Amino acid sequence: MLTAIEKTDKKMFELIRGEQARQAGSIRLIPSENYVSVAVMEATGSCLTNKYAEGYPTKRYYEGQQFTDQIETLACERAMALFGADGANVQSHSGSEANLAVYAALAEPGETIMGLSLPFGGHLTHGWKVSYTGKFFKSVQYELDPSTGLLDYDQIEKLAREHRPKILISGSSAYPREIDFSQFDRIAKSVGAYHVSDMAHIAGLVAGGVHRSPVPWSDVVTTTTHKTLRGPRGGMILFQDQHAKAINKSVFPGLQGGPHMHTISGVAVALKEAATEDFKAYARQVVLNAKRMAAKLMEYGFDLVSGGTDNHLMLIDLRGKGLSGKPLAKALDRAHIECNYNSVPGDTAPPFNPSGLRLGTPAMTTRGMKEPQAEQVAAWIAAIAENPENESVIEKVGREVTALCKAFPVPEVFVRIRED
């Protein structure tokens, strides 16, 4: 594939090769990023990118669907089997589109939805004010307990009883603890609401059996297909039988036209991979690495929101060290340690230079790194945090990071790097 690009577009070829080298030479700690297998990558780059498939299997608007129908059906069947769901829709182009489709299926514009506030770890599409989900619907936002950094289910229930939402959303984008979905289900039922869970970040951990599943406790579950699930970038909806017609109609023709069949084929491959014992071992190691890194960071004096992690991510509150997230993230990036600056609960700093860093272990674990490497990464983060403007320290750490990346190359089964 890359040889063909080189012949057609040398500039793009060089840019792609540059990105491949960057991914191979960096410790990627952004919790939403990972490495996909060559099989997933080849599926997403296959001839399926040539095919339109508006509609659903056996009910398409174009001919020539002999194989696309089988591919989409296979993806849905694998999703239902892996997560124990009654039904699945794999057509959403992203997790954000999947969320909007579900809200549109279950609520009318102007009705109330209730989700975790963005500065407290929620997602834009959980009703935050700058998102259309916060403009089309009346949005009520719950927050974390300021003293513990944990979800306060009693407070969530009190808020739900006050506002009587049509949809209660569980799930997060930056919450480092396990979520009790049964509590959300109980609260939703007590106020006559639908319980919608967004498991985008933890889908791979759920598939691997190291995080409780929201599926038995939710009317509808949305997820991305990448992150910990280690598939291509896309969205997926799992639902109870009674919601099938409304969900499917909301996705198509409600929000989009033709599905991306090349992505759906890659999702199907990733779902098969996620059903293996090797993937379960991977998911366990993701959590072990995150817990070890979190413990080590706290030994170095970092404040972690909620005091640790139960899943794949950590959220560092830098205010105690007198640091801002953006400059530290930039310094770490120069040392080939890739993370993202992020707001923390109660943050008064602006979103483009907040007071936190968000870290995760999915990608480093894919490369085979374990607890000793998690401790080493924590030590490097501490060294740069102590010297965020000292380029000699940053360069030294960068050289050490490069050596570690060479010792733990991206597995051939996950990404193929062309050699000079």
Amino acid identity of residue 20, one-letter, is Q
**Token digits for 10?**
């040398």
Rounded-to-5 percentages of helix, strand, coil across the chain: 50, 15, 35
Give the C-alpha distances (Å, rounded to integers) separating 330 from 147, 159, 292, 327, 345. Answer: 30, 39, 24, 5, 22
Chain center to CA of 276: 20
The per-residue pLDDT for 413 is 80
- Residue 305: which residues within 8 A CB-CB, separation 6 or more? 121, 144, 149, 176, 315, 316, 317, 344, 345, 356
CA distance 337 to 29: 7
Domain extent listing, the chain: 41-274, 285-407
| Residue among 50, 49, 39, 45 at smallest CA distance from 16 | 45
Judge whether 377 and 371 are in contact, CB under 8 Å. no
CA distance 398 to 239: 46
Domain 285-407 in the same topology as domain 41-274 = no
The per-residue pLDDT for 277 is 96
**Count of CB atoms situated within 10 Å of the CB of 136:** 18
Helix and strand counts by DSSP (H, E) for the chain? 16, 15
CA distance 33 to 41: 15
CATH number of 41-274: 3.40.640.10
**Token digits for 267?**
């999702």
Main-chain phi, psi angles of 153, to 5 degrees: -65, -30
The per-residue pLDDT for 420 is 36
CA distance 37 to 416: 9
Fold assignment, 285-407: Aspartate Aminotransferase, domain 1 (3.90.1150)
CA distance 211 to 197: 14
The per-residue pLDDT for 417 is 43
* Catalytic residue set: 52, 54, 198, 224, 227, 233
Give the C-alpha distances (Å, rounded to integers) separating 299 from 98, 171, 289, 387, 400. Answer: 40, 29, 15, 18, 21
Give the C-alpha distances (Å, rounded to integers) separating 134 from 247, 291, 344, 403. Answer: 20, 34, 20, 46
Question: What is the distance between the terminal CA atoms of the chain, rounded to a whole angstrom?
Answer: 15
CA distance 106 to 277: 36
Could you tell me the strand order of the sheet in which 313-317 lies?
303-304, 313-317, 356-360, 340-342
Per-position pLDDT tens, the chain of length 420: 568 999 999 999 999 999 999 999 999 999 999 999 999 999 999 999 999 999 999 999 999 999 999 999 999 999 999 999 999 999 999 999 999 999 999 999 999 999 999 999 999 999 999 999 999 999 999 999 999 999 999 999 999 999 999 999 999 999 999 999 999 999 999 999 999 999 999 999 999 999 999 999 999 999 999 999 999 999 999 999 999 999 999 999 999 999 999 999 999 999 999 999 999 999 999 999 999 999 999 999 999 999 999 999 999 999 999 999 999 999 999 999 999 999 999 999 999 999 999 999 999 999 999 999 999 999 999 999 999 999 999 999 999 999 999 999 999 887 654 443
Angle at 94 between CA 330 and CA 350, to 5 degrees: 35
| Residue among 119, 118, 123, 121 at smallest CA distance from 175 | 121
Strands 303-304 and 313-317: antiparallel
CA distance 151 to 145: 6
CA distance 44 to 21: 20
